[in-house]
Structure 1
């Protein structure tokens, strides 16, 4: 699994969450909601500056974006692109799941 964070999403995270170099964001699956690839579960995030058991991670502008090993089930088989486009939706980050053939 790969995580890609676009420049505009990185800026959004820095502004909205007050993130700076050395900080982190953990993505995880939570009960309730829906994604394009999950019914009954949605993607959630939290600030987490101290990842422990990392399934995958990427760094953008000195910030670590990651998924813990315990949340592998939610993301396995997909890459995640995190984007932000204020023209499309000024209040929401856009998450795109792309199949990667990982089983």
Structure 2
């Protein structure tokens, strides 16, 4: 599995989470919400340590990642994280 994060999304993360070099953002699976990959589950975000990485993306000294225990959600597909200017929010594209 591979994670890609667009430059506009990186700027959104830096602004929303007040990120500095050495920080990490964990993308995690949560119960509920409007996920399009696994019924009844969706993705969440947190400025927190990634203990057992399953997939990582690094940019400007900041690590974005998914724990190995959450890889089941993606069914061996890749994740692209984009920013929607129209909705002023992050969008997850799993393909």
8 Å Cα contact 2:2-2:56 kept in structure 1: yes
In the TM superposition, structure 1's runs of 4+ consecutive aligned residues that sit over 3 Å from their partners are none
1:80-95 alignment runs, 5 A limit: 80-86=79-85, 88-90=86-88, 92-95=89-92
Equivalent-residue separation in structure 2 for 1:28 and 1:81 (angstroms): 14
Unaligned runs of 5+ in 1: 99-103
Size of the aligned set, in residue pairs, is: 95
Quick one: distance in 2 between partners of 1:31 and 1:85? Answer: 23
Comparing both structures, which one devotes a greater share of its residues to strand?
1
| 1:78-102 CA distance string (max 9 Å, x none) | 111011131x212x1011011xxxx
- Maintained 8 Å contact 1:56/1:66: yes
Question: Scaled by the length of structure 2, what TM-score is found?
Answer: 0.91
- Rounded to whole Å, the distance in 1 between the matches of 2:34 and 2:77 is 16
Which protein is bigger by CA-based radius of gyration? 1
Distance between the aligned counterparts of 1:7 and 1:38, measured in 2?
27
1:78 aligns with 2:67: no
Q: CA deviation at 1:18?
A: 0.2
The answer for unaligned runs of 5 or more in structure 2 is none
- Report whether the alignment pairs 1:8 with 2:8: yes
Tell me the C-alpha RMSD between the 2 structures: 1.2
